Amino acid sequence: MSIKIAVIQFPGANCDLDAVHVLNSVINVEVNLIWHNHFKASHYDGVILPGGFTFGDYLRAGIIAAHSPALDEARKMLKDGKPIIGICNGFQILAEAEFLPGALLKNESLKFVCKWIKIKVENNKTAFTTKMNKGDILNIPVAHGEGRFFTDNLKELTENEQIVFRYSNENGDITSESNPNGSMENIAGVCNLEQNCLGLMPHPERASEAILSPYGTTHGKLFFESMVDFIKRRIS
């Protein structure tokens, strides 16, 4: 049983190679870096939309990429229940393409924020969080200018357990000091109703090896291990 994961490369993507490296060398699964116009859903068991500034983030972050044929293909995977993760700009793309609820606005500070923060696991039943426990605090970096999560439907997202991560302090308290961008209710990541699609602003692919973490942690790896586990259960 071989698993194949795609990392989609848009013009202006970044951390795409980091994601490929983690899947190849840390998680040890087959991964293809694939140009967005060439991506075919049927060839893959899961897909990663990496970070970056696709198409210069013109008009709004992620909106131009959201119209790429890659998203039509990814929509088939969404319907088939395959796992899809959008990291940073990938999250913005998935929100603009309406795979995920809400929108990402300019940071409240109006500044690009690039630092290690902490997020608290609110839902460990999604395709990317089964290797975590609810309430776990993860060390992970953020690097974005437009990450302020906004929804006009907070009640429904909460009731449906679509809020997967919140920015927190090291004790798990949801405070304004631990919120790097002014996101509503400190929301750092959300999933779709079926929980096979996740979007988050922090970068798990930059937090998967101890050598890269100021804390010596490998919390980012849990996302990809959960993903592979989900795929194995799905196709077995």
Interface residues with other proteins (CB under 8 A) are 59-60, 63, 66-67, 95-96, 101-103, 105-110, 150-152, 182
Nearest CB to other proteins, comparing residues 109 and 171: 109
- Is-catalytic flag, 15? no
Residue closer to other proteins, measured from CB, 6 or 71 = 71
| Inter-residue contact 150 to 235 (CB < 8 Å) | no
Is 203 assigned a catalytic role?
Answer: yes
43 in catalytic set? no
- Which of 73, 146, 205, 225 is the catalytic position? 205
- For 152, which DSSP code? S
Which residues contact residue 174 at a Cβ distance below 8 angstroms, ignoring those fewer than 6 apart?
A: 120, 166, 167, 168, 185, 186
CB of 227 to other proteins, least distance (A): 27
Among 88, 146, 191, 197, the active-site one is 88
Closer CB to other proteins, 83 or 147, in the complex: 147
Strands 13-14 and 137-144: unpaired
Residue nearer to other proteins on the CB measure, 116 or 150: 150
For the chain, list the strands marked E by DSSP.
4-9, 13-14, 30-35, 46-49, 51-52, 84-87, 103-105, 113-121, 137-144, 148-150, 163-167, 187-191, 197-200
To other proteins, the closest distance from the beta carbon of 150 in angstroms equals 5
> Which of the residues 73, 203, 219, 225 is marked catalytic?
203
CB of 77 to other proteins, least distance (A): 21
Residue closest to 228 by CA, chosen among 43, 54, 22, 57 = 22
Catalytic residues: 88, 203, 205
